[in-house]
Each structure stands twice: as C-alpha cells, then as structure tokens.
Amino acid sequence: MPIIKILPHAEYCPAGAEIRASAGTSLCEALLENNIAIEHACDMSCACTTCHVIVRQGLASLNAADEAEEDLLDRAWGLEPNSRLSCQAILAQSDVVIEIPKYTINHAKENH
C-alpha cells in the first residue's frame, strides 16, 4: 500500500502527514478518507482546479494526465510542471510526496 506524504499546509495539514492508500485510489479520495479536507468544489469530476496539488516526488508512478486535466491545470493558482488535479491523479504502487498550494481558485467559496 503506497504512502502519500503531505507537506505542511497552514489550513489543510498544519504539521504535514503521512497516509496510506490503496493503489487505484485518487489522491483526492485518499486525502478526504484520511480527514485532510482538501477542496474539491466539483465533487471530483475534473471540472475545476480546487483540488490542485504539486507532486514533489513520485510523479512517474501516477497515471498520466489526460487532455481535460491539462486544460484545467492551465487555470490553477501556482501551477508548476509537476502539478496535478488530485481527483484525477491515481496511485500506483509507489510512494508520493505532495504539496497542497497555498491558494486555490474557488469562486463559490469566494462569493464571486
């Protein structure tokens, strides 16, 4: 069972964390199942960027991003070459290290 190491984030995971999740699980599902309340405004349907994460280690062990995810990522705050939507990033057998960006673009939460 792979380990997901979450780097510290002031709102979602102040001390950082290490969680285990089954291969075939999305990063978003794994975070939510382990009480890390990452935003996911579109209910994990690949329609927003609120669950954006940066994969610091283990990117090659995740499934490849499809065109829809890549198009959405262009709108994510703090986009980096190793950015993924956690709802679309599926775990394989290797461990990963992720960082949740400081900000998200969530128009519903921000009352726009």
Where do the domains of the chain lie?
3-99
State residue 108's pLDDT score: 45
State residue 105's pLDDT score: 64
Q: Are 65 and 73 spatial neighbours (Cβ–Cβ below 8 Å)?
A: yes
State residue 6's pLDDT score: 96
Please state whether 78 falls in left (phi above 0), alpha (psi between -120 and 50) or beta.
Answer: left
Domain 3-99 superfamily per CATH: Beta-grasp domain (3.10.20.30)
Q: List the chain pLDDT tens, one digit each, 112 residues.
A: 999 999 998 887 888 999 999 999 999 999 999 999 898 889 899 999 999 999 999 999 999 999 999 999 999 989 999 999 999 999 999 999 999 998 766 544 444 4
| Residue 4: closest CA among 26, 24, 21 | 21
State residue 100's pLDDT score: 93
Residue 75 CA: distances (Å) to CA of 27, 59, 64, 100, 109: 20, 20, 19, 16, 17
How does DSSP classify residue 13? Answer: B
